[in-house]
Amino acid sequence: MQTVTTPNISAELRQRLANAKRVLVLTGAGVSAESGVPTFRGGGNTATWKGLPFEVISSGTMLERNLPLVWEWFDYRRETLRSLKPNAAHEAIARWQERFAELTVVTQNIDGLHQRAGSRHVVELHGNIWRARCAVCRLSHEIPAAGTRPGACEECGNALRPDVVLFGEILPAGAFEFGAQRAAACEVCFVVGTSGLVYPAASLPEIAKAAGAFVCEVNPERTALSDRCDEVLTGKAGDILSAL
């Protein structure tokens, strides 16, 4: 029988949540861990694929050098994702849409699990693995859950690339700016399941903090952001978010 430890949530956080209208949630790979999605770091080592650290295979440089290999990497991850489902953490965040007047979900994840849990208007800072985009005219193409991905651009016939943000590439126009604007206006900012090492995503809690928001981290481990949080809830997102 798995013991679910009720996280010791402070009276201050409960009070602030009771009064909050504007809440921002920044999520990373850890929010999908309980769905079975491998994280990139954890346990001290960084994910590698075919001997390549993920920051190398998931880079703009690698895309220019070897697009087929980059496709192989994302095809492999899509295959892993195909049978996985949103977990209690995704579902709790989706429910918060009805609880707070203005809930902003900003994710670094490309797995689409927030949307599958019912979250609307998710800000995907790093794109989505279920989309491809034309390397020339930038037309976006859906990749069907079943079946093969489109081979070439239906508009101009040029090659398609994963519609994700690779290291060294800029984020989708407006996505970070919108997240930053909401971070600067929120009363409570949750940082869930991220090691807080990738920028500019990791600067959002700092923007919220600087604007006077109460910043709360949810993570079984300390992270690069823990010291800048007003409260750290140590544990799994599924357990903690369901108890909030």
* Residue 156 is a binding residue for Zn ion (CB under 5 A): yes
Quick one: what does residue 126 bind among Zn ion, ligand BV8, none, with the CB cut-off 5 to 8 Å set by partner type?
A: ligand BV8
Number of residues that bind Zn ion (CB under 5 A): 8
Which of 188, 164, 186 lies closest to 175, judged by CA? 164
C-alpha–C-alpha distance, residues 118 and 105, integer Å: 12
117 binds ligand BV8 (CB under 6 A): no
Q: Whole-number minimum distance, CB 82 to ligand BV8, in Å?
A: 16
Element spanning 197, H or E: none
**Of 15-23, 140-148, 179-187, 220-228: span binding ligand BV8 (CB under 6 A):** 220-228
Pick from 89, 105, 129, 153: which binds Zn ion (CB under 5 A)? 153
Instruction: For residue 175, give the H/E element and its range.
Output: helix 175-185
Beta pairing, strands 52-53 & 160-164: unpaired
Nearest-angstrom CA–CA distance, 244 and 75: 36
58 binds ligand BV8 (CB under 6 A): yes
32 binds ligand BV8 (CB under 6 A): no
| Smallest gap from residue 19 Cβ to ligand BV8 (A) | 26
Token pair for 233: 């809830």
Residue placing its CB nearer to ligand BV8 in the complex, 18 or 227:
227
| Contacting residue, 63, 93, 134, 201, with Zn ion by CB under 5 A | 134
Is residue 3 packed enough to be buried (19+ CB in 10 Å), middle (13-18) or exposed (0-12)?
Answer: exposed
Choose one: 3-11, 17-25, 175-183, 217-225; the region binding ligand BV8 (CB under 6 A). Answer: 217-225
Cα(189)–Cα(193) distance, integer angstroms: 13
C-beta of residue 125 within 8 angstroms of C-beta of residue 27: no
Give the CB-nearest residue to ligand BV8.
Answer: 30
Read off φ and ψ for residue 234, nearest 5 degrees: -90, 115
Which CB sits closer to ligand BV8, 6 or 11? 6
192 C-beta neighbours (distance < 10 Å), count: 23
CB atoms within 10 A of CB 168: 13
Show contacts with ligand BV8 in window 61-100 (CB under 6 A).
none
Residue 137 in contact with Zn ion, rule: CB under 5 A: yes
* Catalytic residue list: 126
Query: Where does this chain bind ligand BV8 (CB under 6 A)?
Result: 28-30, 33-34, 39-42, 54-55, 58, 108, 110, 126, 164-170, 193-195, 197-201, 218-221, 223, 236-237
